[in-house]
Chains A and B, each alone.
Chain A
Amino acid sequence: MYSLEHKKYLKKIRRNSILVHLTQILIIALFIFIWQFAANNEWINTFIYSSPKSILETIIDLYKDGSLFHHIWVTFYEVIISFILGTVIGIVVASILWRFKFLARVLDPYLTILNSLPKVSLGPVIIIIAGAGVKSIILMALFISVIVTIINVHQAFISTDSNKIKLLESFRASKCQIFFKLIIPSNFQNIISTFKVNLGLVFIGVIMGEFLVSKAGVGYLIMYGSQVFNLNLVMTGIIILAVMASLMYYLIVFIEKRCEK
């Protein structure tokens, strides 16, 4: 049984986190309320800023003509494919660079340059190579996410405590054993945070790609909306993106929690 102090302590922690959640909900509710209020009283130009109500109506319309989930699905599909590809390629390349130091040193300046290059500039080239379709979008997202992944994961790998490597070497461990017994598990946290960063980057890449070439997807909705001056559609697209991003973020957090057990 816990002591009285400990129970008080637990209670305090619980109360604090409830308070944080309540405040968070309050903020979003207040935001929506003020937005709608401002729109109703014509403090803001609803043609440009839209309003929660018209966004909701737009979503319902999209749902009714069946295109809502189609667009969401297309974007989701592109994001997931690019995310998986980007993460896997990034981690594999980083592992190869960890294993072959010479290669890592040779490639270092090229990675740095590629990393700072604004990847949108590759857009036209990608479209010419991969055609105006889903392939281009995924390629775009890959370009944006993979370089950062390589650099971050490799950096984490080579910062692994050298004394722990020494310990494994004293047991005559092979490079492969060192990799799987030490490098991967000790960088688990780093890899998860790379997932999070990656997801964000892949989203940017996919939406950018959809702006450039798509026939469907949330990015397409936004682009189309802006072309026909339907700002309700644009805002709706942004809101859908925000919801998608947070859902996927929590999915990763969930996976992280599961893996830690």
Chain B
Amino acid sequence: MLKDKVILKIRDIRKIYHTKEKEILAVDNFSFDLKQGEFVAIVGPSGCGKSTILSILCGLEDASSGTINKVDNLKFGYMLQSDNLFEWRTIYKNCILGLEIQNLKDKEHIKYVNSLIKTYGLLEFKDAYPSNLSGGMRQRVSLIRTLATKPDVLLLDEPFSALDQETRLAVSDDVYRIIKKENKSAIMVTHDIGEAVSMADRVIVLSDRPSEVKNIYEIKIKNRKNPIENRKTKEFSDYYDLIWKDIGYHV
């Protein structure tokens, strides 16, 4: 597929949650385009509506108004904010859940899953149950489960939040590599500005609820490499400061 081809066009999304007590305007006037092979990060204060946006994109929630145009047969892979591992399934069985549902349990996919399990250091725990895993390991299983079906667009909701700093850097490097190698696209929600700047081609900064796009930063790093290397560049710290000031939230 072509690079720079727009695969997802989002216009004026608005989402109102209705409960008996009140209505909550979670997202207002949210627009942006996603190109083939692009990595977009979304940052914004807690509760501003980031997860809501991903759910709408994935088709799990209907927007109250606005339009989403996407190219045909675009397959999403949604890594939810909570790992939602099935306690009664082994790690391996959890990893292939999506394959089972989409009838993709063929040799090629199974092999891919096995290689991911190995890469993410879970080989030893393949036949263990989720209750025996640490939070970070669980998150890696959830990531493998999402990658297994080989989606075109990855929707990642704070995918590395439970990982320690070291693993976090390594895993984000890996995910970045997979996405770039296979020319996939990704939209990643994160609270970590450094992560956003080092991984993404664009960073969308959202305002407080209802979330509107406050600013979009094109991340232009000369000699762009993998996230870990990117962190060492001068541009990285410039963007970091810029976005930090922009968000103005204190975490």
**What residues make up the interface of A, taking CB atoms closer than 8 Å to B?**
161, 163-164, 166-173, 177, 181-182, 185-186, 188
From B60, B76, B87, B97, A181 is in contact (CB under 8 Å) with B97
Contact B86 A182 (CB under 8 A): yes
Within the complex, which residue of A161, A163, A170, A188 is in contact with B58, where a contact is CB–CB below 8 Å? A170
Provide the bound-state CA to CA distance between A24 and B76, in Å.
58
Q: Count how many pairs of residues, one from A and one from B, have CB atoms less than 8 Å apart in the complex.
A: 42
Given contacts A167-B84, A172-B101, A177-B101, 16 further A-B contacts (CB under 8 A): A163-B84, A166-B60, A166-B84, A167-B80, A168-B97, A169-B60, A170-B76, A170-B78, A171-B98, A171-B102, A171-B149, A173-B101, A181-B100, A182-B86, A186-B88, A188-B88
Asked whether B82 is an interface residue with its Cβ less than 8 Å from the other chain, the reply is yes
Number of interface residues of B (CB under 8 A): 19
Q: Is the CB of B101 within 8 A of A166?
A: no
B97 touches A185 (CB 8 A): no
Can you list, as one digit per residue, whether each of B86-114 has a CB less than 8 Å from chain A (1) or not (0)? 11110000000110111000000000000
CB atoms of B60 and A168 under 8 A apart:
no
Q: Which residue of B lies closest to A185 (CB)?
A: B88
Q: Can you report 8 residue pairs joining A to B where beta carbons are below 8 Å apart?
A: A166-B80, A167-B78, A168-B101, A169-B60, A170-B80, A171-B149, A181-B97, A185-B89
Check A171–B60 contact: CB distance below 8 A.
no
State whether A164 touches B86 (Cβ < 8 A).
Answer: yes
Residues of chain A within 8 A of B76, CB atoms compared = 170
What 8 A-B pairs come out closest when comparing CB atoms? A170-B78, A171-B101, A167-B84, A171-B98, A173-B101, A164-B84, A185-B88, A163-B84
